[in-house]
Amino acid sequence: MVILSNNRQAIDSGDIVILAIKPQNLAEVMAELSGQLKPGQLVLSIIAGTRINTLSLGLNHSSVARVIPNTPAQIGEAISVWTTTAEVTEQQKGWAASILGALGKEIYVADEKYLDMASAVSGAGPAYIFLFIESLVDGAVHIGLPRNIAQELVLQTLLGSGHFLQKSGKLPAELRGMVTSPGGITAEAILPLEKGGFTGLVIEAVIAAYNKTRELGE
């Protein structure tokens, strides 16, 4: 691996240029690279909240792909949603798909509006899941389970439930109904969640994240 301190030198060779920088550094980088990219190069951006048109205009380059990945990419379990400008070729799309496929699963969408929605769901989603896990572990500890056992129970329950949902072909509501007997333990547990507005709060969280993502892109 060769590390370069000069961005113009870094883009001299290679078919793909990946922009993985903080949004506050984008203006400086675009000014440095504007007009310097070769016509056949693909720019692949994972910069949060930055519209594809902003990138294309700022770089003076037409072949741009924008991606919304998530943090499980660090272990090859990401879900990435991406789109491209019209000028990106099928070959370049294949390059992008291969890179993103190495990080986990990838979904190509033709309309950029779905990337803002993905930011609110899969992009921010790990934080929702981690918060739920924290809460469930704390509940388990509160009733007397050792924290290490509680965490293992919660994590495997989450993983197993996700895989079960994937493989069952059923809707989440159907599977929930299968384990929620009238008057049973699960029904008693779900009641306070429903009374507390759990579903509504999750929906509000997604809407808030979506609105913030759109605000960042303006």
Read off the pLDDT of residues 85-140 as tens digits, 9 standing for 90 and up: 999 999 999 999 999 999 999 999 999 999 999 999 999 999 999 999 999 999 99
- Strand 104-108 and strand 64-68: the pairing is unpaired
Give the domain ranges of the chain. 7-111, 125-216
Q: Is the pLDDT of residue 35 over 90?
A: no
Q: Residue 211 — pLDDT band, cuts 50, 70, 90?
A: very high
Strand partners, 81: 68, 107
Class of domain 7-111: alpha beta
* Signed CA dihedral, 98, 110, 91, 19: sign only: negative
168 conformational bin, left if phi > 0, alpha if psi -120 to 50, beta if neither: alpha
Per DSSP, helices labelled H in the chain are 7-10, 26-33, 52-59, 90-101, 113-118, 125-142, 147-168, 172-178, 185-195, 198-216
pTM: 0.88
By percentage, how much of the chain surpasses pLDDT 90?
81
CA distance 41 to 66: 14
Tokens of 108: 């190509």
48: tokens are: 């949060």
Task: Please check whether the two domains, 7-111 and 125-216, share a CATH topology.
Answer: no
Dist CA 216 CA 218 (whole Å): 6
Instruction: Give the β-pairing of 64-68 and 78-84.
Output: antiparallel
Asked if CATH classification 1.10.3730.10 holds for the domain at 125-216, the reply, yes or no, is yes
Average pLDDT of the residues of the chain: 93
Burial class of residue 209 (count of CB atoms within 10 Å of its CB; 0-12, 13-18, 19+)? buried
